[in-house]
Chains A and B, each alone.
Chain A
Amino acid sequence: MLKIQGLYKSYPTPQGPLPVLQGIDLELAGGSSLALMGESGSGKSTLLHLVAGLDQADAGSIEVAGKRLDQLTESQLAAWRRGSIGLIFQQFNLISSLRVEDNLAFQARLAGRHDPQWQAELTQRLGLTQLLDRYPEQLSGGQQQRVALGRALAARPALLLADEPTGSLDESSSDEVLELLLQLLATSATSLLMVTHSPRVAARLQRRVQLRSGRLVDQDNS
Chain B
Amino acid sequence: MAVLYWTLSALCSHWRRHPVQFFSLLTGLWLATSLWTGVQALNSQARDSYARASQLIAGDAHSRIGARSGGRFSQQVFVDLRLAGWPVSPLLQGSLRLRGQAEQRLQVLGIEPLTLPRGTRLAGQALADLDLVAFLDQPGRTWIAADTLKALDLAEGEQPLTVGGQALPPLYLHPQLAPGVLLVDIGVAQRLLDAPLQLSGLLLSRDFAAGMPRLPSALDGQLRISRAGDEADLARLTESFHLNLTALGLLAFVVGLFIVNAAIGLALEQRRPLLRTLRACGVSARCLLAALALELCGLALLGGVLGVISGYGLASLLLPDVAASLRGLYGAEVAGQLNLSPQWWLSGLAISLLGALLAGAGSLLRAAHLPLLALAQPEAWHQAQALWLRRQAWLAGALLVLALLALVFGASLAMGFVLLACLLLAAALLLPVCVSGLLAWWLPYCRAPLAQWFVADSRQQLPRLALALMALLLALAANIGVGSMTEGFRQTFIGWLDQRLAAELYLRPESPQQGRAIEAWLAERAEVSALLPSWRVELPVQGWPVELTGILDHPTYRQHWPLLEAAPGAWERLAGGAGLMLSEQLARRLQLGLGEELSLVTPQGDWRLTVVAIYADYGNPKGHLLVNAAALQRYWPGLRPGSYSLRLPPAAVPALKQALQARFALDERKLVDQSELKAWSGRVFDRTFVATSALNSLTLGVAGVALFISLLTLSQSRLGQLAPLWALGVGRRQLVLLSLGQTLLLALITLLLAIPLGLLLAWCLVAVINVQAFGWRLPLHVFPWQLLQSAALALLATLLAAAWPLWTLYRVSPAELLRTFANEN
B265 to chain A, nearest CB (A): 18
Q: Are B373 and A87 in contact (CB under 8 A)?
A: no
A175: interface (CB < 8 Å): no
Distance, CA A115 to CA B371, complexed state (A): 31
Q: How far is the CA of A82 from the CA of B3 in the complex (A)?
A: 9
The stretch among A19-27, A60-68, A88-96, A189-197 that forms the contact with chain B is A88-96
Q: Is A139 an interface residue (CB 8 A)?
A: no
Residue contact B16 to A97, C-beta cutoff 8 Å: yes
Q: A97-B13, A97-B274 are in contact. Are A78 and B373 (CB under 8 A)?
A: no
Q: Is B283 an interface residue (CB 8 A)?
A: yes
Interface residues of B in 1-24 (CB under 8 A from A): 2-3, 6-7, 10, 13-14, 16-18
Q: How far is the CA of A96 from the CA of B17 in the complex (A)?
A: 9
A95-B13 contact, Cβ under 8 Å, with A78-B287, A109-B6: yes
Closest-CB distance, B68 to chain A (whole angstroms): 77
- Min C-beta distance of A51 to chain B, whole Å: 12
Is there contact, CB below 8 Å, between B283 and A97? no
Which interface class (under 10, 10 to 19, 20 to 34, 35 or more) fits A?
Answer: 20 to 34
A residues less than 8 Å from B281 (CB atoms) = 81-82, 87, 106-107, 110, 151
Task: Determine whether B677 belongs to the interface, using a CB cutoff of 8 Å to chain A.
Answer: no
Q: Which residues of chain A in 41-68 are interfacial with respect to chain B, using CB atoms and an 8 Å cutoff?
A: 49, 52, 54-55
B649 at the interface (CB under 8 A from A): no
A98 interface hit (Cβ, 8 Å): yes
**A77 surroundings in chain B (CB, below 8 A):** 284
Interface string of A69-111 (1 = CB under 8 A from B): 0000011011111110101010101111110001000110111
Beyond A95-B274, A97-B274, A110-B2, whether A52 also contacts B280 by CB under 8 A is: yes
Contacts of A96 in B (CB 8 A): 17, 273-274
A101-140 residues with Cβ-Cβ distance < 8 A to B are 102, 106-107, 109-112, 135
Q: Among A110, A112, A135, point to the contact of B283 (Cβ < 8 A).
A: A110
Q: Which residues of B contact A79 (CB under 8 A)?
A: 282, 284
Asked whether A10 is an interface residue with its Cβ less than 8 Å from the other chain, the reply is no
Q: How far is the CA of A209 from the CA of B189 in the complex (A)?
A: 105
B387 within 8 A of A: no
Q: Which of A55, A74, A78, A79 has the most chain B CB atoms inside 10 A of its CB?
A: A78
A74 x B283 contact (CB < 8 A): no
Residue A168 at the chain B interface, CB threshold 8 Å: yes
Chain B residues, CB < 8 A from A135: 17
Closest chain B CB from A115 CB (angstroms): 14
Residue B369, interface by CB 8 Å: no
Q: How far is B6's CA from A222's CA once the two chains are assembled, in angstroms?
A: 47
**B276 CB-CB contact with A under 8 Å:** yes
Answer yes or no: B808 CB below 8 A from chain A CBs.
no
Docked pose: A55 CA to B13 CA in angstroms: 28
User: Which A residues lie within 8 Å of B823 (CB)?
Assistant: 91
Q: Which residues of A contact B277 (CB under 8 A)?
A: 93-95
Tell me which residues across on chain A come within 8 A of B282, comparing CB atoms: 78-83, 85, 107, 110-111
Contact call A97/B284, Cβ cutoff below 8 A = no
Decide if B679 is an interface residue (CB 8 Å cutoff). no
Give complex CA distance A112, B281 in Å. 12
Which residue on A lies nearest to B273, using beta carbons?
A93
A87 CA / B286 CA spacing, docked (Å): 21
Residues on A with beta carbons closer than 8 Å to the beta carbon of B372 = 49, 54-55
Indicate if the CB atoms of B2 and A112 lie closer than 8 Å: yes
Residues of B within 8 A of A75 (CB): 284, 286-287
Chain B residues positioned under 8 Å from A151 (CB to CB): 281
Nearest-neighbor residue (CB-CB) of B819 within chain A: A137
- Give Cα A74 to B822, complex, Å: 33
Give Cα A80–Cα B14 distance, bound, in whole angstroms: 26
Given the known inter-chain contacts A55-B372, A107-B281, please indicate yes or no for A97 contacting B286, CB distance below 8 A. Answer: no
A144 to B285, CA, bound (A): 26
Q: Chain B residues near A168: list those with CB within 8 A.
A: 822
Q: Tell me whether A110 and B13 are in contact in the complex, defined as CB-CB below 8 angstroms, given that A74-B286, A93-B277, A93-B280 are known contacts.
A: no
Of residues 258 to 276 in B, which have CB atoms within 8 Å of A's CB atoms? Answer: 273-274, 276
B-side contacts of A54, CB under 8 Å: 279-280, 372-373
Tell me which of A81, A89, A94 has the highest count of chain B C-beta atoms within 10 A of its own C-beta: A81
Chain B contacts with A in 563-602, Cβ cutoff 8 A: none
Contact with A along B278-296 (1 / 0, CB 8 A): 1111111111000000000
Bound complex: CA A95 to CA B283 (Å): 14
A82's nearest neighbour on chain B, judged by CB, is B282
Contacting residues, chain A, for B280 (C-beta < 8 A): 52, 54, 81, 87, 89, 93
Contact pick for A97, options B14, B279, B373, CB 8 Å: B14
CB distance from B223 to the nearest CB of A (A): 78
- Closest chain A CB from B309 CB (angstroms): 29
CA distance in complex: A151, B279 (Å): 14
Chain B residues near A83 (CB-CB < 8 A): 282
A91 CB contacts on chain B under 8 angstroms: 823
Tell me the smallest distance from the CB of A105 to a CB of chain B, in Å. 9
Which of A75, A83, A95, A168 is most buried by chain B, counting CB atoms within 10 A of its CB? A95
Q: How far is the CB of B671 from chain A (nearest CB, A)?
A: 73
Q: How far is the CB of A106 from chain B (nearest CB, A)?
A: 7
Query: Quick one: which of B281, B284, B287 has the most chain A CB within 10 A?
Result: B281
In angstroms, Cα B212 to Cα A41, docked, is 93
Mind listing 30 A-B residue pairs with CB under 8 Å?
A49-B372, A52-B280, A54-B280, A55-B372, A74-B284, A74-B285, A77-B284, A78-B279, A78-B282, A89-B280, A91-B823, A93-B273, A93-B276, A93-B277, A93-B280, A95-B13, A95-B277, A97-B10, A97-B13, A97-B17, A97-B18, A97-B274, A102-B10, A102-B13, A106-B10, A107-B282, A110-B6, A110-B7, A111-B282, A112-B3
Other contacts beyond A79-B282, A81-B282, A106-B6: 13, CB < 8 A = A54-B373, A75-B287, A78-B282, A78-B283, A78-B285, A87-B280, A89-B280, A93-B273, A102-B13, A107-B281, A109-B6, A110-B2, A110-B283
9 closest Cβ pairs, A-B complex: A82-B282, A78-B284, A81-B282, A97-B13, A75-B284, A97-B17, A97-B14, A93-B277, A54-B372
